[in-house]
Amino acid sequence: MPFWRWVFNVFVVTSVAELHSISCTASFSSDQQQLDRVLKLPGQNFDVSFAHYAGYITVNEESGRDLLYWFFEAEEDPSSKPIVLWLNGGPGCSSIAYGLAEEIGPLHIEKDGKTLYLNRYSWNKVANILFVDSPVGVGFSYSNSYSDLLSNGDKRTAADNLKFIEKWLERFPQFKGTDLYLTGESYAGHYVPQLAHAIVKYNEKNGEETINLKGFMVGNALTDDFHDHFGVFQFMWSVGMISDQTYKQLNAKCDFDSFVHTSEECVEVLVIADQEIGDIDMYSIYTPPCTANFSRLSHIWRSKTVYKVGLLRRSYDPCTEMHSVQYFNLPEVQDALHVRSRNSRWETCSGLVNQNWQDSPQSVLDVYSELLNSGLRIWMFSGDTDAVIPVTSTRYNINAMKLQTVRPWRAWYDDGQVGGWTEEYEGLTFVTVRGAGHEVPLHKPKQALTLIKSFLSGKSMPEMELLSDS
């Protein structure tokens, strides 16, 4: 998710009958693949029909940079399904904490922080899903060289993620040649297109498509610092969160600032905006925040913010992050996931990685300009109640690309209700999800499953189904 908080904050008991869920091409699997098989997870009192694996891929032998992955085969016929790689942003936030444990993964954590339940809208209903904690220093990923944790940045992250995919496919040879799609949210708006670009260049250099990349999709994604700032401030002003004066000051002091390396002049105005906004969840402005005593480092404000939380139905629990912190710090859980490094308490996001982030280009629109002509399927989506990277920011970014509209703005439907809105351009599709916050699959899991189904099939978002009178 998250960009580091405020803007950038952003399991199984296997029975004999389940053994058939190992891929039908398992005879070609590596020995290490089978060692990575997750056979049992604490807190799971149900069976599953799919195999899953967790382990480490070394992306740099010299310094010992190891990335932890967690891979879930599709519920049915995994050999016929594509692979969807999910990345969370921050920079410095765990894809296992967010994308897996509270968004698109099949196994979610109950409020007790010890028990698991099945996510009925998991994306492994339509794809094999692969999560990786990237870069080193995030989640359970680590390096033998401490200096690596202080020198992360966009370029090395893209290079390491490319190396990860290359070596992961060596460990899982049965998936070589399988269609690959990249997905993610928030600061993964940098990671995902940059990785797609690296894969395209890698394939060109090798003279063949050794990594069968078919497309990518990003949600509430950081794309261009100017357009993103401009859109954030306009969104906050338009929904009545900040005053006219503060809105003017934000545009004057912050529009040309970096999201990652914010100037003190901009921070001064952001603090005023924070006071005007009050105690709400900026990632989902119309839902109650978490009332538990849970501090989240706010990168934009450079201060501690305590989010308050109330109890809601399972459809949306504002304290999901707290459940992850409790669960993934259990030694028996770490044993089940083959975790190696246990030098410190597991965190959803690493302040050390975030605060020492190196290169972060002010825009990735130039990357899009190259990839739009590469034949990849490219989608952007946006939860429309997010004030971190809101729908206005994404629309300004798309407008800056000056794309030809091939299907005009319209509503899309889910079970007869408007699920959001969409417009299709030459080379890119944009989808909003009505009522969703920064983590779209957390707030609107059913609609998010509809989204990934449409994306993978290359079909437009669903229209209203007209019922006959007969």
Q: What are the residue numbers of the active site?
A: 186, 386, 438
User: 327 to each of 69, 101, 339, 369, how far by Cα in Å?
Assistant: 17, 10, 14, 42
Buried/exposed 57-68: b ≥16 CB within 10 Å, e otherwise: bebbeebebbbb
Asked if residue 99 lies in contact with residue 88, where contact means CB atoms within 8 angstroms, the answer is: yes
The residue with tokens 């992850």 is 324
Buried/exposed 413-437: b ≥16 CB within 10 Å, e otherwise: bbeeeebbbbbbbebbbbbbbbbbb
Asked if residue 36 lies in contact with residue 144, where contact means CB atoms within 8 angstroms, the answer is: no
Q: How far apart are CA 65 and CA 46, in angstroms?
A: 35
DSSP 8-state assignment for residue 263: -
Q: How far apart are CA 372 and CA 363, in angstroms?
A: 16
What are phi and psi for residue 405, nearest 5 degrees?
-75, 130
Token output for 44: 């799971």
Cα angle 323, 324, 326 (rounded to 5 degrees) comes to 65
Which contacts (CB < 8 Å, 24+ apart) does range 416-423 have? Answer: 416/464, 416/465, 419/444, 419/447, 419/450, 419/461, 419/462, 420/384, 420/447, 420/461, 422/460, 422/461
Token output for 26: 């398992």
CB atoms within 10 A of CB 280: 16
Token output for 90: 């921050």
DSSP 3-state percent helix, strand, coil across the chain (nearest 5) = 35, 20, 40
Q: What does DSSP say about strands 83-87 and 128-132: parallel, antiparallel, or unpaired?
A: parallel
Q: What does DSSP say about strands 180-185 and 83-87: parallel, antiparallel, or unpaired?
A: parallel
The region, left, alpha or beta by phi > 0 then psi within -120 to 50, assigned to residue 44 is beta
Q: How far apart are CA 230 and CA 7, in angstroms?
A: 14
